Structures are given as C-alpha cells and as structure tokens.
Amino acid sequence: MITKLANPNSFQKLSDKIYFPCLNLSIFFLVISLYYSFFASPPDYLQGETVRIMYIHVPCAWLSLSTYSLMAVCSFISIVFKHTLADIISRACAPIGACFTLATLITGSIWGKPTWGTWWVWDARLTSELILLFIYVGHIFISNAYNDRRKGDKNAAILTLIGVINLPIIKWSVDWWNTLHQPASISKFSSPSIDQSMLVPLFLMLISFSLFFTTLLILRIKSEIMIRKIEIIEFNQN
C-alpha cells in the first residue's frame, strides 16, 4: 500500500477522494470552534478576554511543529529511498508550515503585549520558533534555487534533517530554561492544567486547522505534480 501511494499518480487519485470532505469538515469545525472560542468559553481569571488568542495561537504552534515533523520524515525517505512523492510533499509543506509559524509568532506577540508588557522578548521559546521560521524559508529558497529540481530537493532535505534538532528545543525550552513563556497547559490528557471549558474549543480549533492544513497540502501536492508533468513534457518535446 505504501509503495503504491509513493507513485504520484496513485496518490493524486486518493487525494481527489479526500479533498472535498476535508474542506467541508474544516469549515464545519471552524464555525463550531469559533462559536465556542469567542462566545461559549469564559474569560481567564488572570488574562481576561486576552486568553482567546490562545485558540488561534496554540493550534498554529502545534501545526508549525507537526508540519516540520512531516517534512523531516519525507526528507529522510527522499534521501534513503529516493521517492519523488516525498520531495513533492516536503515542497508542498514548507510554505504552509512557514505561514503557521509566522501566525504563531504574530499571535504570540499580540498575546504577549498585555501579558508581558512588550511585543517581543528574546525568550527561548520565541527565539527557537523564530529559528524554525528561518529554516522553513531556507527550505523554500534552497528547493527553488536550482534548475535541477532533484538537486534542490536533496539540499533542502539535508537542511530539513539538520533543522530537526530545533524541534525538541522548541518543545522543552520552557522546561530547560527560565523563560517568560508559560509552561505546557496540556502535558497529559488525564489531568491537564486547563479547564474543560477552554480545552474543548482549543481542540475543536486544532481539528479545524488540521483539516484546513490537509486541504491546502492536497492542493499544493496536486499543483506540484502537475508542474513536474508539464516540465517532463516540455523536456521531451525539446
């Protein structure tokens, strides 16, 4: 099954079947999560209404890391097994992951202004998240810097694997260093340090964003496959 899906044409047929369900479900969950986030959930006893930024900030942060993790897996598969689809997925993920990371930094700054009294501090979590954005941008530039796509994909994959070291730094920076950023509120599902009235809209928003990510990823993969087909046709004609 995995070998079959490694073929771009087979993957494209599967993506056609799941694109519209993902799109419709993402809109459905977005509407519900927005209602719960801004109307059904209470303000925080310390942060007040400012805490509602969390419902955007946290899902974006999670997806910035999970998107990069997916790219790292694809980069490993690309280097070891030379699967073209793995390179295509990495290329498709990079701009989406960069946008989620940028959204994380922007919403974090908006959240930090009333909470910390400043838009930005060189906090370990913020700084490592900023580095993640630079890695995403580096992947985009490197993968498009060569006329030979295979060379660009290979060098971008190497950069992605090197950048994996930044993921545990982002994840555990609040535990390793004394930072302004608050520690994880959902360290374990059995007893999270966040009330259920806030936990429900948070996870609904995460589901919505994840489905939206899947929808965008499918579109970008389909576009990348089409571009490569056109390049092959033009190469054969010349």
Domain boundaries, the chain: 21-38+49-179+196-232
Across all residues in the chain, what is the average pLDDT?
Answer: 85
- The contacts of residue 10 (CB under 8 Å, 6+ apart) are 4
Whether 74 contacts 156, CB under 8 Å: no
Q: What is the rounded average pLDDT of the residues 84-103?
A: 95
Residue 182 scores a pLDDT above 70: no
Pairwise CA distance, residues 158 & 154, whole Å: 6
Give the pLDDT confidence of 29-39 residue by residue, as tens digits.
999 999 988 88
User: Using N-to-C axis directions, what is the helix angle for 84-116 and 196-237, rounded to 10°?
Assistant: 140
Q: What is the pLDDT of residue 5?
A: 52
Report percent pLDDT > 90 for the chain: 49
User: Using N-to-C axis directions, what is the helix angle for 166-176 and 54-81, rounded to 10°?
Assistant: 140
Pairwise CA distance, residues 215 & 208, whole Å: 11
Nearest CA to 205 out of 42, 47, 62 is that of: 62
Whether 221 contacts 74, CB under 8 Å: no
Tokens for 109, please give them.
């700054």
Top-ranked range on mean pLDDT: pick from 84-93, 133-142, 144-153, 198-207? 133-142
- pTM value is 0.86
205 versus 191: the higher-pLDDT residue is: 205
Q: What is the rounded average pLDDT of the residues 6-16?
A: 71
Q: What is the pLDDT of residue 96?
A: 97
Residue 190 scores a pLDDT above 50: no
**CA 84 to chain CA centroid, nearest Å:** 21
Give the pLDDT confidence of 100-133 residue by residue, as tens digits.
999 999 998 888 787 777 887 888 788 899 999 9
Q: How confident is the model at residue 6 (pLDDT cuts 50, 70, 90)?
A: low
Tokens for 96, please give them.
């989406």
Residue 206 scores a pLDDT above 70: yes
49 versus 214: the higher-pLDDT residue is: 214
Nearest CA to 66 out of 104, 30, 36, 28 is that of: 104
Q: What is the pLDDT of residue 177?
A: 55
Neighbours of 89 (CB within 10 A): 23
First-residue to last-residue Cα distance in the chain: 36
Whether 135 contacts 164, CB under 8 Å: no
Overall CATH class of domain 21-38+49-179+196-232: mainly alpha
